[in-house]
Structure 1
């Protein structure tokens, strides 16, 4: 196969496989996954190399040089300007090349590999009270190599400067093969380098000559502002700036060199911080006050406008924090450091006092609660997600999202920029950002799907670039030039300086092989100009998504369109985080881009657009590439709540599986686990049958049966109880008095058949709270297992029958309690989207509650005093769909001190039982849940409302069974100690299997 650029793919593949110790991928799925970043652009790569070491990455570059193949180094892939996608061999450093190589505590420096994550690095430095200063909003998943490539900044650049201000030296490799360390170069160092001769000497001599030729223009045309990110940092090569080659290469976006290692300057972690929020009548007033605030040496000065806050309110993001804001229509969020809390508080009070004389004087609030301070930071860090896919508003896009001007002129610029947005009919558009340094973030409702809209977009960019240049600003103040702004650089710098950029490019990459046609092209190279801002658009005037099936889900937030759902991901990469929340457990286990929510979204986008865009995914719903990527999706729904734009991959997976297998034989696991409610009913057709089935499941022959049924052979099967809950309840006497009336208790398959003691405990609690418990006697099912296996036509039939049966129970206002969170999530989320026009479904969704929600609403009822410490694992669907606040409040009232585990248990319904998933399932459990269990004191309760979570604990934990909230409350009501018996003969996954799994997928949490 020969590509359009004349590259022999077979020869390249053979050469890379022979030379590179790592993963070499030419498959369609991988190429589709890396076809775009967070920008408006799309270029399908030739291949992706994931090197096991820095040396392996260097060898990949050598192969590409020998075969004249373009190369793109990539970190977290969150670029908003298009610099992280190209028709090249992509080297992804983030999976394996992520070590802290060395640390000099006294010298406050360290050496790192390019793939190390910022939060991981700072976690490793924390015990020494050191940190890397710049902190972008993507700090949980951006890499240091990406930060160096982009010259990242973030809010704390106010105090610590850009990444380029914190890089001491870089180990680089040029496309031509020169490998060396570079940094500041004194005259003696320069003379020594030249005396040594060779390629390095010629490189330095040409850089010195470039500065001699263009020094005056560089001094004249480079803006003297804190957020100069556009262009190359040629000012760093000026003699008065120390001829700092490392700083000159920082921010070059993989267009000049490959960074192999970096020596970083570190700063002390502030001992104390205080957050001040200032409310102004307008965002322009807030901007005008920023220079005054800056004189107080804060860590950050962040501006927020009412549009951003309104968006977060519409999307129900950070509701507690939004209530904390003082009155205003524009805000400054200021963070002040101190050696003590008293000192930082005093600095905050001095700032507030000084601003009383500012006109107009702001409303102000000072915050001392660390929880509230973090909630306020989250408001600002949610900016990109909060301004995308806002209900009831036009779609917004990047494209002019990070311009920077002198801070003292920011207010004036904001007025003019607002007028420009109005002139082009791009309002409302939020204007927020790093106001202390004059940097403005903005997602704008561009029309990128019609020729007229794209022409309008291009005209706007030209006007916006001239506006910023007239203010002495930078086209990019944070995100780099990439493809968005490369062609606009002459407006800012003039033709003479851009010529210097092109010559600088030619010094390092004369053949235009490093991330070609991004930023600039080499003087005398193979291209005439960089790609323009309307080339290679991911959408474009030819955007024709193809969804040629009748959908099962209604996609109410996406106009009923699957293609819009597939487009929803903005690429910010929160799903690549290893801490906090639930999303994305499969990525946390594998470190694999294709197994992140973002990677799967990219594949789905290619699936519905591949044919029109001549992309790598050409088989639509029958695509095996998409099937493979979705196979390790746990359907945990963590992304539904943790993703800033509410991507719901569990729903997309179910929809895909439904169409992928339509009219075809399904995997055996879909029949065994998808039809579990049926098998459970059959198991109880005769007395003694459950005991027989359990015994058969423990025989050696059971392994063969598991294999035939698509079940993991090493995974013990759940044990059927001889007496189901519904059998027990049939003879349970109703209370004589029930002052609070009836409550329907949902007898889900898992509780009824496997853990009936949970439902019996719930009856005890509900009756003590004054309710009469009603349990439907009909054989009903919510369809959960059918949904999770994509058998959606059957799921809809089952669910429609169920809600039709439940409706009479609930018609008079009777609540429905579901003890299994995943079943309740079907009633509240999946069901209404599968049966959007069914009034019975709507009624069930409205009436259904968690046990904690009902008890908190019960007037006059107080929980028993449990007085215990507990490790609590919320079910993923509870985290994502139902919310955990009610449980947390109820536990607090019951005097349960809860350590709440973040992250998924790893079993996730049928996922952990399916053959081929066990290693990932164990690795996910080891990420958060199992360490929390091991670290708990012996008398600590283990609480988990989800059947999957309790099962995973039984099979991997320390022998203590997890308890449902109902069991803990019932024990206290009955005067018993809430402690399940330790299981001496529990079904357990063999330790050798656990060891194998953790060797394959070692925990990646810092």
Structure 2
């Protein structure tokens, strides 16, 4: 398609946006919010894009490139946005492939190949290939969200590269588009010299380039398994098949736009076993690698004591940590086979070979335990980014690589270099893909002062010279981008770097493809996300942010861009309750609706440049509007981003001294309304359940027309409780939350029956109490604090006597364990209450329950998953066959699903897994949901009724 546009008239952003909107089948976004959302990746760098294009088809993306060429503006292709070297941030038109261009075009199972679009995430591809028993081999730790296009751009690797090599080793052909409009498939080809078209000209220039630098191409590249730095010009050598596709892999979008990729596939290994080796030091572990490699492990990873300590401090994968053998440096060695015996024999041959070695050895053949140890290694980036009570760590030298035979010595020298610069070894972990000599780390660079930035530059320059002495690679996984582009001369010398420049000029003579990366790179200390101009503004906050030095502004920097929140289908972890984040992204698949995107927007709001309106920002308000406040990100995000808290904080300031949405009044003040309604519940229900009156009430209260208003119970739980005689036993306080008390008192009555059977003397507060949840979720934090203070006053004697307080509603219980202490950090009684507040299952951890022998389908409340503990153990002791739904959030999420404008997202979240599973459940399956929202969503959308665990156990007592 030809685009008719005058170049002079389109240089302004408005004209460029208009031209793209007119020509491209897709979403074109030049608003401040979108530009802020795409300003960063996972690196230290920040550049504000001109705009964002989300094409609906690959052809539409090609049209977008053509418009940009006519306008003479730069182009940046972006996949998962998880790059650590700055290659996916630029002052360009960003093409985001991930929303629509994510299809598997074809699979040839017999030939073990497939053709895919660039926006498909690796895990999604492998799920599609699973029925054929195939997968794409390389697997970075960001496999949930990294895309094939991004993997091609970065030449990604991961732990499985031990067996399958890098992405370049698994790409057969690429369909690419040059900036000047040449669209072609490339791969290993004959040397095309005939013809007058642009394609033939490119090939002739490539041949001439290769021949000019033939000697350097054969001798200038390090012969190591993890060389990712630099362009793959050695793929143009005759002995390597003149493979243009492989030459373009790892070019980070600086040469061409990748439209399709034909990939080689490998069989999924049927069985894996793991041997974990402990050594006195990490250097000893590194030196042992050469002895292990002849056994041909499937994966071979290294961990040090610093990483284990950091993950232990963050309570990350603690179970896996407990299973490590004695040592201070570890190697996890996996073997795979088509039979268990094949993998097992390989593992035992290794153990026999090492029986006289200094290593301590543990052997695992349980897939669940192996997965926990894999997650232990994959959690490294998150654990090392924000060490508790320590300086934040940054990328910049996070993936250097040497030959595996040199690994032990290199680890020693790298640690000495870190020590010379004063980078504390208690904060700076060394770990990585040791079987291929790749070392990961994050370093506490000071990137906000001139001296700190100068030291950063000095360190990476010296580190580059160190890796050159070992004939290694600046990057063994993450690419060059801006972090290492300036250092390539140190690694390759001036001749090969000159060849890189000529290679780029062949494909991109106008330097419009992701400029400033690899070739003619921006200085490594420019365009920093922080830099000397950044300061934490004195923003007042309601929450204490104890993990961020008490600063909301620092909390907005917590996200490091890993992108696990952008998994498109949700993901099951080794956690008993699966994963929750991020329900809004799962529905909309918009970057700004992911925790990462929302964090980026809040960070830009704090900076005040792209988002200048501060707390009054409509861009931030709109992005946060679809946050369900499920708190899934608080626990599932590797660095603990807590968007629910950020949303409550923002709403508190955004609406200060302003009229709020009506739903904030009708839903936020629900506890008070429920108390009033309990005086005449039949009369109130008569109004709320009458269609015409209900419609008027919902419209007045900002409630979705599609929602049915829950009916109030004819007798509240506290009223029922006041009429019964006390029972002897150990005294506890049963918390009468609003939802149990006024809407679902049967759960409270059942809980009393169970708790008394367990030997407790149950009491309830004599005066009304509330946790303030509904005021917190609507950002009315001043009122929430007053409610919490009043509650503490009511419970003060019980608190100081150490009486346990038992919660039935997870969202209310979570307030006392999390939100409450952060809102009132100086209230000692609230701090005590937080320690005394337990869930129903936690209180009964030593009780011998009745045997039920039923099958239960369990929907875990998001706040229970994020803040509390699982009830799986209690259910197992009761003989309940527990089926945990991997459904994430139910979609109702308290007030969210009732608010006008949220119904479609609420139901889409529920229809993803929860509601279809419930509808398909047999009549003999019990649906268990402790959360009132979860039960309400199920009851309003299916013909089934869900019960609280207390109700299920109470039935067993009878």
- Structure 2 Cα separation of the partners of residues 649 and 310 of structure 1: 27
Q: Does 1:882 align with 2:879?
A: no
- SS in structure 1 at match of 2:844: helix
1:734 is aligned, of 726, 732, 735, to: 726
1:950-994 Cα offsets, whole Å, 9 max, x none, are: 00101123x1111100000000101xxxxxxxxxxxxxxxxxxxx
Q: Does 1:779 align with 2:768?
A: yes
- SS in structure 2 at match of 1:536: coil
Pairs within 5 Å for 1:417-436 = 417-428=414-425, 429-436=428-435
Q: Does 1:393 align with 2:390?
A: yes
Aligned match of 1:282: 281
Aligned match of 1:315: 314
Alpha-carbon shift at residue 701 of structure 1 (Å): 4.0
Native 8 Å contact 2:694 2:709 kept in 1: no
Q: Does 1:792 align with 2:778?
A: no
Aligned match of 1:545: 536
Alpha-carbon shift at residue 6 of structure 1 (Å): 9.8
- SS in structure 1 at match of 2:950: helix
- SS in structure 1 at match of 2:252: coil
Aligned match of 1:921: 906
Pairs within 5 Å for 1:476-515 = 476-515=475-514
Aligned match of 1:681: 675
Aligned match of 2:164: 160
Native 8 Å contact 1:683 1:693 kept in 2: no
- SS in structure 1 at match of 2:873: helix
Q: Does 1:623 align with 2:617?
A: yes
Aligned match of 2:13: 9
- Structure 2 Cα separation of the partners of residues 4 and 557 of structure 1: 51
- SS in structure 2 at match of 1:336: strand
1:604 is aligned, of 599, 602, 605, to: 602
Aligned match of 1:147: 151
Q: Does 1:944 align with 2:929?
A: yes
- Structure 2 Cα separation of the partners of residues 701 and 498 of structure 1: 75
1:531 is aligned, of 505, 522, 532, to: 522
- SS in structure 2 at match of 1:111: strand
1:248-304 Cα offsets, whole Å, 9 max, x none, are: 000000000000000000001112110110000110111111122121111110000
TM-score, normalised to structure 1, is 0.92
Pairs within 5 Å for 1:622-641 = 622-641=616-635
Native 8 Å contact 2:10 2:16 kept in 1: no
- Structure 2 Cα separation of the partners of residues 938 and 162 of structure 1: 50
Alpha-carbon shift at residue 726 of structure 1 (Å): 1.1
Alpha-carbon shift at residue 356 of structure 1 (Å): 2.5
Pairs within 5 Å for 1:711-750 = 711-735=703-727, 738-739=728-729, 741-750=730-739
Aligned match of 1:898: 882
Alpha-carbon shift at residue 196 of structure 1 (Å): 4.3
- Structure 2 Cα separation of the partners of residues 460 and 935 of structure 1: 59
Pairs within 5 Å for 1:559-958 = 559-577=549-567, 578-580=570-572, 581-610=579-608, 615-686=609-680, 688-695=682-689, 698-735=690-727, 738-739=728-729, 741-857=730-846, 861-884=847-870, 887-902=871-886, 903-957=888-942
Alpha-carbon shift at residue 558 of structure 1 (Å): 0.8
Q: Does 1:970 align with 2:954?
A: yes
- SS in structure 2 at match of 1:870: strand
Aligned match of 2:3: none
Aligned match of 1:363: 360
- Structure 1 Cα separation of the partners of residues 762 and 17 of structure 2: 66
Alpha-carbon shift at residue 338 of structure 1 (Å): 1.4
- Structure 2 Cα separation of the partners of residues 560 and 225 of structure 1: 46
Alpha-carbon shift at residue 5 of structure 1 (Å): 14
- SS in structure 1 at match of 2:394: coil
- Structure 1 Cα separation of the partners of residues 522 and 792 of structure 2: 56
Native 8 Å contact 1:690 1:722 kept in 2: no
- Structure 2 Cα separation of the partners of residues 291 and 511 of structure 1: 46
Closer/same/farther in 2, CA of residues 380 and 687 from structure 1, 3 Å limit: closer
Native 8 Å contact 1:117 1:143 kept in 2: yes
Pairs within 5 Å for 1:450-465 = 450-465=449-464
Task: For structure 2, list consecutive stretches of 5 or more residues without a partner in the other structure.
Answer: 1-5, 573-578
- Structure 2 Cα separation of the partners of residues 80 and 323 of structure 1: 30
1:412 is aligned, of 406, 409, 416, to: 409
- Structure 1 Cα separation of the partners of residues 404 and 787 of structure 2: 61
Q: Does 1:50 align with 2:65?
A: no
More displaced stretch, 778-787 vs 805-814? 805-814
Native 8 Å contact 2:539 2:552 kept in 1: no
- Structure 1 Cα separation of the partners of residues 465 and 692 of structure 2: 76
Closer/same/farther in 2, CA of residues 896 and 4 from structure 1, 3 Å limit: farther
Question: Alignment RMSD, CA only?
Answer: 1.5
- Structure 1 Cα separation of the partners of residues 693 and 56 of structure 2: 41
Alpha-carbon shift at residue 709 of structure 1 (Å): 1.3
TM superposition outliers: structure 1 runs of 4+ over 4 Å: 2-6
Pairs within 5 Å for 1:59-208 = 59-185=63-189, 189-190=190-191, 193-208=192-207
Closer/same/farther in 2, CA of residues 470 and 687 from structure 1, 3 Å limit: closer
- Structure 2 Cα separation of the partners of residues 814 and 323 of structure 1: 33
- Structure 2 Cα separation of the partners of residues 147 and 896 of structure 1: 44
Alpha-carbon shift at residue 72 of structure 1 (Å): 0.1
Alpha-carbon shift at residue 727 of structure 1 (Å): 1.3
Native 8 Å contact 1:217 1:497 kept in 2: yes
Native 8 Å contact 2:580 2:632 kept in 1: yes
Closer/same/farther in 2, CA of residues 691 and 918 from structure 1, 3 Å limit: closer
- Structure 2 Cα separation of the partners of residues 343 and 238 of structure 1: 38
- Structure 2 Cα separation of the partners of residues 454 and 310 of structure 1: 28
Native 8 Å contact 2:404 2:435 kept in 1: yes
- Structure 2 Cα separation of the partners of residues 466 and 217 of structure 1: 19
- Structure 2 Cα separation of the partners of residues 485 and 683 of structure 1: 65
Native 8 Å contact 1:279 1:325 kept in 2: yes
Native 8 Å contact 2:918 2:944 kept in 1: no
- Structure 2 Cα separation of the partners of residues 323 and 692 of structure 1: 58
Closer/same/farther in 2, CA of residues 3 and 555 from structure 1, 3 Å limit: farther
